[in-house]
Amino acid sequence: MKKVVGEFLILIKRGINLMTNKQKQKGSKFERDMTVELNELINGARFKKVPASGAMGTALHEGLLCGDIVGEVEYFPKKLRLEAKNGYMKENKEGKYFHLRKEWLDKIKTEALQTNSFPALVAHFENARSGVKDFIVMDIVDFAWLINEITRIQRDISEDILLSD
């Protein structure tokens, strides 16, 4: 980790601005906002924005800098690793839609496997005034694992109650 921080500081000293455009700044703000929202919505959650995440973590092959948001939730068996995407709105005659890229899901899935984390993509409909604004996307295998874990825990609780009677 010290090596990664050192390489990061070298880039800054060379004058390489990692926040060169408004799109990156907007993405960083979305990551901060989602961190706050997840911590407010999920009981026992401790989510945080990964500093210098994304391209920097990928370029340096540093798993701890991969993903935009990481979190722990009390009693949840794994850390969560989230890729955050803001905007990517398109419009056609049918209406507005979010442009989702397969490589985003592949990337966060790979990074989560390397760090034994639970992967998901958190995204936002830009300029949405009502209805769904923020949402989560995940691989069906991860969704099934999540449902199976909840079901197993509920079953274990039910069996414990029956055994104690």
Enumerate the β-bridge partners of residue 119: 81
**This prediction's pTM:** 0.75
pLDDT at residue number 13: 55
* pLDDT-derived band at 128, boundaries 50, 70, 90: confident
**Mean pLDDT for the stretch of residues 97-112:** 91
How do 69-73 and 45-49 pair as beta strands?
antiparallel
pLDDT at residue number 57: 57
Separation of alpha carbons 47 and 133, rounded Å: 20
pLDDT at residue number 5: 56
Enumerate the β-bridge partners of residue 33: none
User: How much is the mean pLDDT over the chain?
Assistant: 83
| Phi, psi dihedral angles at 78 (to 5 degrees) | -135, 155
pLDDT at residue number 25: 78
Nearest to 150 by CA among 85, 82, 99, 77: 77
Q: Tokens for 29?
A: 């703000």
Q: How many secondary structure helices (H) and strands (E) does the chain include?
A: 5, 7
pLDDT at residue number 83: 96
Write out pLDDT tens, residues 8-62.
555 555 554 555 677 777 778 999 999 999 999 999 999 999 987 655 555 655 5
Separation of alpha carbons 58 and 138, rounded Å: 20
How do 117-124 and 79-86 pair as beta strands?
parallel
Q: How big is the chain, counted in residues?
A: 165
Domains of the chain from N-terminus onward = 2-136 (3.40.1350)
Least confident of 28-37, 46-55, 100-109, 145-154: 46-55
Separation of alpha carbons 53 and 95, rounded Å: 32
pLDDT at residue number 61: 58
**Mean pLDDT for the stretch of residues 123-145:** 91
